[in-house]
Structure 1
Amino acid sequence: MNDNKLKTAIFTLAIGDENPMYRAALLSFEKYAEKVGADLIVSKELHYPITITNPRHTASPAWTEKLYIKELLKKYDRILYVDADIIITPDADNIFDVYNDLDTIYLFNEGQLLERQPVIDKISAIMGEIKDWPKVNGRPVYYNLGCMLISRQCPLFDIASLADLQTLCNHIKYYEQTYVNYLIQRDQLKHQSISAQFNRMDVLGSQDYKQAHFIHYAGRGYTNSSLKREVRFVNDFCDMFSGRIDDDVLEKIKQDGWNLFINKAHKRYKLPKPIISALAKTFVTI
């Protein structure tokens, strides 16, 4: 349990059509929230409308919903934001205890592994250059927004604005993530990278990934094709939570994950679903 007497919440987004991956993720968040004594808050509708027209990169209007953290911090002392393509594993440590400085915003520095200078250059050209952007392993610090721990004392979401996001969304890759990184550096907010154990991404490889506390299935999600991501996700979830969640619930999620994969493959390859299913059962390995 979170025994520091601070009021904490876990926040995520589940907007649009119901996805078995999201259902599984939410179940893992529910279990974790109970374990650490936090409330679970799920946004299922958009509060921050944005117009995305002919974007240069993939861009979702749902990404602005992270601005809702400002409202949540009026009620809660600390907010843990997690993407809905993350599994919080059953024995995960209490992140609120591990990272307990209230002035610091905590995220995973993916920039130490991936080159993010080009997108930093693009946002700097629009919003102004920042001198002395810090580097790790010779690359600029650039945080992944899939897992973010923030407390009321950090002013990030007092600074962030929907107007800025509207300016950026059609031009900048990972527009809201890049914007948050820019604000952290521009306004010199206190920040620290969390361990990859709390945002385990497949850029780190697949060896022992299931041993992490928070497993992030962004992109291909530990498969060789994004088509298979949901199947990998729900299969891993069902393995990890076997005996902790009712078998019929797990079986339904697993079957729905497989059906979603078949539907996506059908749309891509235009073959009849029975043929897609037969081929998948024979040749697809997850």
Structure 2
Amino acid sequence: MIWLNQTMGATGMNNMDFLFFSRRREKQYIPSHFHECFELVYYYGKGHTKIGSTAYHFRQNTFALVAPFTEHDELHLNEADVLFVGFYSEREGLSYLNGVFEDDQDGTIENILLRMKDEFVKQQDDFSDMLNLLVGELSIQLLRLIGTRKAPKQQSDRMNYVLNFMDEHFRQKISIQALADLAGYSYGRFRHLFKEKYGVAPLQYLYVKRLNYARSSLILHPEKLVSEVALDAGFVNDAQFCSMFKRENGISPKQYRLSKIWKNN
């Protein structure tokens, strides 16, 4: 098993996040999970996977493409190799391609992944840059191979999907870039469309959700420290939480809790 997990210094549109190749055991189950980036899983065996709400079968020389923040699992029916790659891409249309697909007769997708594997194993000069270039090639080939097979969602459907995701996962660490990827837009375009549709910037929307949750938690769980409430609500630390809370409510979290307790008594 070989694993690469790197943080790229470049801010280009195509960036490698992780590369992973290993062997899965017979009847091995990978529990449901999601990533902040795209994930491509190339199969050499048989099994089942659920991507979002849709179940798929996979077999040799098929691959799963999973959009950011999309929950998915796997059940491997026989012992076989797998290749994983996690990556970021701003190419519009890529986010619509959740599913399991068959590689072409030339093994185009497999060849790119094997070149990535070779680059990582040899680690020649500037291999990280080469991996990022291969991510760009992979994004293009995915769109060529399967991009025309699925019709894009309407803009309102995309934004509603992202809003529902934010409502469900606001307590977790979520970057605006990842939300933009999920919607299939660039960072700037996503922020503009979100504010235009919902009247508030996406980051501000998350903060409001976290503050509302924290207010309720302060009253419902008086035994919890303010720092615990802050982290549970999704804030980076209690200092950030207290600053934002006081700015929005005029009093500190402790004062807010005491005022509610006195009022109820």
- Where on the TM-score scale, by shorter chain, does this alignment land: which range? 0.3 to 0.5
Identify the structure with bigger relative contact order (alpha carbons < 8 Å, sequence gap 6+). Answer: 1
Larger Rg over CA atoms: 2
Relative to the length of structure 1, the TM-score reads 0.35
